[in-house]
Amino acid sequence: MWRYPATVLAHRGGGTLAPENTLAGVREGMARGFRAIEYDVMLARDGVPVVMHDPYLGRTVVGSGHVFDYDARELAAMDAGAWFGRQFAGEPVPLFVEFAQFCKAHGVWMNIEIKPAPGFDVQTGEVVAKIAAAMFAGEAWQPLLSSFSHEALKAALAVAPAVPRAYLFDELPPDWESRAREVDAVAIHANQRHLTQEQARAVKSAGFGLFCYTVNTAERARELLIWGIDAFCTDRIDLIGANFR
Ligand code: G3P
Ligand code: MG
């Protein structure tokens, strides 16, 4: 069941209007009325979670090597904005705790994607879930933790069962439902490219929420909503508004 306050989420913080997974992106979305985002979290060398998509530097962060080659404070001093545009130069890699606190303080609801670097599934799931549980204990709206990693979701369930989980799939495998039940997921997050109307029906009639990534045209968004999906994230927050229905 989908009990969350948003249908349209900005993907990676602020879609394609600002560098992904940065506070600048969240601010850009907020300026356009967005109060819900998806973003990615992984662990630095010291086990401190940071907001990053790739497990290595070079694409969005100036530098080289892996995220786990650096401590979080070192990453937080790196430039995650210059690749996107000169006006974003110096925009840092956010620490997860600070990023989540900013969102909480500004009423921005979060789908936190647990994105473990290879081999760090359990540790990443535990750390992210524990922090989310501590930060949102007693709050009306809990963030939604999602992951492609079964191990990360199982670890999150073990340490913080009260923080809801969603199972991310590219293509839905035949055993999607048993996998989702094993981690006590409340929702299925599916790649819109592969989702069929029949699968959408099956997910909904099994009682799960259904979220799609990443929907970048209004036409497709409309079609998926007619199929009964509950929510989606988009890169194109310029084309698809926060109140799109
Ligand atoms: O959470 C949905 C989506 O973000 C998954 O893919 O690679 O953009 O993190 P990716
Ligand atoms: Mg993601």
- pLDDT of 224 higher than 80: yes
- Looking at ligand 1, which atom is closest to the CA of residue 213? 2
Residue 40 CA: which ligand is closest? 2
In CATH, what number is assigned to the domain containing residue 216? 3.20.20.190
Distance 213 CA to ligand 1 centre (A): 7
66-72 LR contacts (CB < 8 Å, sep 24+) = 66/117, 67/42, 67/43, 67/117, 68/43, 68/44, 68/117, 68/120, 69/45, 70/44, 70/45, 71/44, 71/45, 71/46, 72/44, 72/46, 72/48
Paired tokens of 131: 């922090």
Alpha-carbon span 97 to 103, nearest angstrom: 10
Q: Which of 40, 54, 191, 216 to mutate to test the pocket of ligand 1 (most atoms within 8 A of CB)?
A: 40
Ligand 1 lined by 165 (C-beta under 6 Å): no
Number of domains, the chain: 1
Residue 51 domain-assigned? no
Residue 55 domain-assigned? no
Ligand 1 lined by 40 (C-beta under 6 Å): yes
Distance 21 CA to ligand 2 centre (A): 9
Residue 18 domain-assigned? yes
Least confident of 2-11, 27-36, 146-155, 201-210: 2-11
- pLDDT of 2 higher than 90: no
> Tokens 């600070």 sit at which residue?
98
Which domain covers residue 40, as residue numbers?
Answer: 8-45+95-234
Residue 74 domain-assigned? no
Ligand 1 lined by 169 (C-beta under 6 Å): no
Q: Averaged over 69-75, what is the pLDDT?
A: 98
- pLDDT of 233 higher than 80: yes
Residue 206 domain-assigned? yes
Quick: pLDDT tens for 17-35: 999 999 999 999 999 999 9
Predicted local confidence at residue 245, as pLDDT: 84
DSSP output for 46-98: TS-EEE-SSSBSSSSSSS-SBGGGS-HHHHTTSBSSTTT-GGGTTPBPPBHHH
Alpha-carbon span 54 to 141, nearest angstrom: 28
Show Cβ contacts of residue 150 under 8 Å, excluding neighbours closer than 6 positions.
179, 182, 183
Q: Whose CA is nearest to atom 2 of ligand 1?
A: 213
Ligand 1 lined by 168 (C-beta under 6 Å): yes
Which band of pLDDT confidence, cut at 50, 70 and 90, is reported for residue 223? very high
Q: Whose CA is nearest to atom 3 of ligand 1?
A: 213
Residue 73 domain-assigned? no
Distance 12 CA to ligand 2 centre (A): 6
Distance 115 CA to ligand 1 centre (A): 9
Catalytic residue set? 11, 53
Residue 31 domain-assigned? yes
Distance 165 CA to ligand 1 centre (A): 15
Ligand 1 lined by 235 (C-beta under 6 Å): no
Residue 211 domain-assigned? yes
